[in-house]
């Protein structure tokens, strides 16, 4: 299954990434700090705002979230907006917020997804 890019658009507004460290640090007896790579890859978290243009698109997105990706428990194909490469992703914990813009027409959905780094 794949993220529904056809009607759910990722906005630049509110988009950012958090890449955890793949190294550990330890201070040696002489005061020197040693750094060593301990992970081959890390889970990169992306905060994002998803825009849908209608109530029916919003309902379709919620149905995709609940049924296709099991409330975020399952991995899905996600086309990275930065490089257009398809990556495996999952939603972290929950959708953070769901809010209409005007009446119940356009919707903005805030979420965090995570993808594996390339290693």
pTM above 0.75, yes or no: yes
Q: Which of 3-7, 11-15, 60-64 has the lowest mean pLDDT?
A: 11-15
Domain boundaries, the chain: 9-22+32-116
Phi, psi of 64 (to 5 degrees): -60, -45
Give the tens place of pLDDT for each residue, 28-85.
878 788 888 888 888 999 999 999 999 999 999 999 999 999 999 999 999 998 889 9
Confidence category of residue 23, pLDDT binned at 50, 70, 90: confident
Give the number of other CB atoms < 10 A from CB of residue 50. Answer: 22
Confidence category of residue 119, pLDDT binned at 50, 70, 90: very low
Residue reference for tokens 């953070």: 96
pLDDT at 34: 85
């Amino acid at each position: 299954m794949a993220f529904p890019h056809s009607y759910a658009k990722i906005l630049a507004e509110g988009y950012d990434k958090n890449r955890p460290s793949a190294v550990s640090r330890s201070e040696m007896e002489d005061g020197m700090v040693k750094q060593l790579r301990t992970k081959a890859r890390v889970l990169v978290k992306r905060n994002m705002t998803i825009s849908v243009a209608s109530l029916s698109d919003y309902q379709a997105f919620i149905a995709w979230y609940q049924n296709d990706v099991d409330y975020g428990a399952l991995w899905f194909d996600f086309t990275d907006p930065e490089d257009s490469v398809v990556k495996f992703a999952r939603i972290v914990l929950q959708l953070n917020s769901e809010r209409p813009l005007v009446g119940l027409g356009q919707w903005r959905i805030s979420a965090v997804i995570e993808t594996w780094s390339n290693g």
